[in-house]
Amino acid sequence: MKIDILTLFPNMFKIPLGESIIGRAREKGILNINVINIRDYSENKHKKVDDYPYGGGAGMVMQPQPIDTALEAIDAKNHKIIYMSPKGKTFNQEMAKELAKEERLIFICGHYEGIDQRVIDHWVTDEISIGDYVLTGGELPTMVVIDAVSRLIPGVLGQEESFMDESFYNGLLEYPQYTRPSEYKNMKVPDILLSGNHKKIEEWRKLQALKITKKNRPDMFEKYINGKNLNKEEKKLIQKLLEDKRLTF
């Protein structure tokens, strides 16, 4: 996948997108990430990129010309162009899976009071928010979306199964994880995980995922039990969860 990032602060992306899993994916050529400095495309002799908003108000607005020229220069037409904005749709795992199918993604990082609406009207295909709060710019949200999307691209993770049981992928939060030693400061790993009985282990993990989701994200739990065709084993686990007082909240 090719990813273009339009930003006023390109140095913010150097380390975060050059380390760990994403860094290795770039080295392998699975990800091609191109960071573009919007100021380089300003026609103002002082490389000015913002101005006061028409109609008055606090703050500054990013001008259309530098962004428009940058998008023209990278031949952005007919590709997904994402503007990270508090006004956008809230990002989730389903959106990540859909974006992971694209061959190319282009991100616009706003700053100040945002970007001129004419850029959005003419270029932007998707406005995305990562939550109901406001940050100083679109750089950090862009990193979040790129990280979530990239790990779903074949070859980025070491094993394709690595994300199958993770939180949100199958509609539930992830079950608890343990590793060596089996006992630490009088805290023991659940016996079932040491039993070698893989069927029982999978059942335990599914029950724990249901339990955690019901406690922390009741909205997800209700959607899961009402929005899909549950198999016989899942129905039994859910019934057990709802009836056993030790497992309810």
Closest-CA residue to 83 (of 38, 53, 43): 38
CA dihedral (156, 157, 163, 164) positive or negative: positive
The full length of the chain comes to: 249
First to last CA, the chain: 44
Are the CB atoms for 207 and 237 separated by under 8 Å?
yes
Q: 214-221, long-range: CB within 8 Å, 24+ apart, which pairs?
A: 214/241, 214/249, 215/249, 216/173, 217/173, 220/171, 220/172, 220/173, 221/172
The pair of three-digit structure tokens given for residue 167, joined into one six-digit string: 């939180």
Say whether 57 counts as a known binding-site residue.
Answer: no
138 is in an annotated binding site: no
166, 147 in Cβ contact below 8 A? Answer: no
Is 155 annotated as belonging to a binding site? no
Q: Is 110 annotated as a binding residue?
A: yes
Q: Is 108 annotated as a binding residue?
A: no
Q: Could you give the C-alpha distances from 39 to 44, 46, 78, 105, 180, in angstroms and in order?
A: 9, 9, 24, 20, 51
Place of tokens 């970007």: 115
- The values of phi and psi at residue 69, to 5°, are -65, -40
Phi-psi bin for 89: left (phi > 0), alpha (psi -120 to 50), beta? Answer: beta
Contact (CB, 8 A) for 106 and 2: no
Cis peptide bond N-terminal to 53, omega within 30:
no
Residues annotated within a binding site:
110, 130-135
Residues annotated within a binding site for S-adenosyl-L-methionine:
110, 130-135
